[in-house]
Amino acid sequence: MAPDEPTLTSYDEEHAVTYMRLLDADAENADWREVARIVLHLDPNLEPDRARRSFDSHLARAKWAARHGYRHLLQKGWPKDER
């Protein structure tokens, strides 16, 4: 399950690529089972409830991060000026 904290967490930072892949799949209306299998490495045939819960929580977190989470990064001074 993805976090549901009101700020970004280290889990979010570690799973940023996963979130982007989920958002891309959602934009393409991909089947959630295929996305769970490919992106989350869960087999919806073997663990349908776990796969669905994980897919739903990660997609919800990805959408939250896209809408609100970036503000937390900006407040932290990200991206760092590398000059």
pLDDT band at 77 (very low <50, low <70, confident <90, very high): low
User: pTM of the full predicted structure?
Assistant: 0.84
> Which pLDDT value is given to residue 80?
54
Any idea where the domains of the chain sit in the sequence? 10-75
Closest CA to 63 of 5, 11, 19: 19
> Which pLDDT value is given to residue 76?
66
**Whole-angstrom distance, CA of residue 41 vs CA of residue 15:** 13
Residue-level length of the chain: 83
**Cα angle 12, 67, 8; round to 5:** 25
pLDDT tens for 32-58 read: 999 999 999 999 999 999 999 999 999
